[in-house]
């Protein structure tokens, strides 16, 4: 009677059978980063709902609350500082990304900068929503409506872009933009272009509204 010999920690009968003579087992393939998993996608949706709810609360409060000239001045100062904070971080991050596209930076240079810039970007956006609610915007104005929609789009796009950047940072060091998978490359380009378009639209419309208020004395 012969006793079964198994590996330590493995129950009898679960060991892998030996391959036939002359047959080699295939080596595991190395695949690039894929799309978000179920948990990541659910988290993305929940964060999108939170951002949308915060944006809607800011719009509704701003439309019905008139805090007066003193608070308006303080809110305007906070609004400008938050814009410099968030938009400045975006510009620096996108500049380093552009240098990577041109082959002047490593892909992981953007990872280090991205981890440092994210608190500035989202903190600045939060201050923009709070201070914007105290500025009593003219919601019936088409430029203001364009600005508000741009802010919502850039926040939701920022969530998608954050997930795309996580996939990007899983690539090996020295990876070139042209060597990336076509799907990841397309998502990255679309998200970056949409981000810049929405940010510049918000900034320019905000400057236009501020100038018009100064001229009209509103």
pLDDT value at residue 7 = 43
pLDDT value at residue 35 = 54
pLDDT tens digits for range 19-55: 445 444 443 333 344 555 678 788 889 999 999 999 9
Q: What phi, psi does 35 have (nearest 5°)?
A: -75, 165
Number of Cβ atoms within 10 Å of the Cβ of 205: 20
Delimit the domains of the chain by residue range: 47-212
Residue with tokens 């203001």: 144
pLDDT value at residue 116 = 86
Higher pLDDT, 23 or 182: 182
User: In 3D, which of 196, 197, 202 has the Cα closest to residue 80?
Assistant: 202
At residue 77, does pLDDT exceed 70?
yes
pLDDT value at residue 217 = 59
Tokens representing 98 are 């552009």
**pLDDT more than 90, % of the chain:** 28
pLDDT value at residue 218 = 53
pLDDT value at residue 6 = 41
Higher pLDDT, 180 or 8: 180
Tokens representing 126 are 């939060």
pLDDT tens digits for range 186-218: 888 888 889 899 999 999 988 887 777 777 655
Tokens representing 69 are 């000239």
Tokens representing 197 are 């378009």
CA distances from 101 to 35, 129, 195 (A): 22, 32, 17
- Confirm if 172 and 106 have CB atoms less than 8 A apart: no
pLDDT tens digits for range 105-127: 777 777 778 888 889 999 999 99
């Amino acid at each position: 009677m012969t006793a079964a010999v198994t590996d330590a920690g493995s129950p009898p009968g679960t060991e892998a059978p030996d391959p036939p003579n002359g047959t080699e087992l295939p080596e595991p393939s190395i695949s690039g980063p894929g799309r978000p998993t179920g948990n990541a996608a659910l988290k993305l949706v929940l964060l999108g709902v939170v951002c949308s709810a915060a944006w809607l609360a800011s719009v509704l409060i701003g439309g019905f609350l008139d805090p007066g000239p003193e608070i308006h001045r303080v809110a305007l100062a906070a609004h400008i500082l938050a814009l410099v904070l968030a938009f400045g971080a975006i510009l620096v991050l996108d500049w380093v990304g552009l240098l990577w596209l041109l082959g002047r930076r490593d892909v992981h240079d953007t990872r280090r900068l991205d981890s440092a810039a994210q608190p500035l970007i989202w903190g600045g956006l939060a201050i923009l929503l709070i201070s914007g609610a105290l500025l009593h915007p003219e919601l019936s104005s088409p430029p203001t409506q364009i600005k508000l929609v741009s802010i919502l789009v850039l926040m939701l796009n920022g969530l998608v872009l954050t997930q795309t950047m996580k996939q990007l940072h899983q690539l090996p060091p020295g990876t070139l933009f042209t060597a990336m998978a076509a799907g990841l490359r397309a998502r990255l380009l679309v998200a970056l272009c949409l981000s810049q378009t929405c940010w510049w639209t918000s900034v320019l419309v905000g400057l236009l509204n501020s100038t018009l208020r100064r001229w009209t004395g509103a």
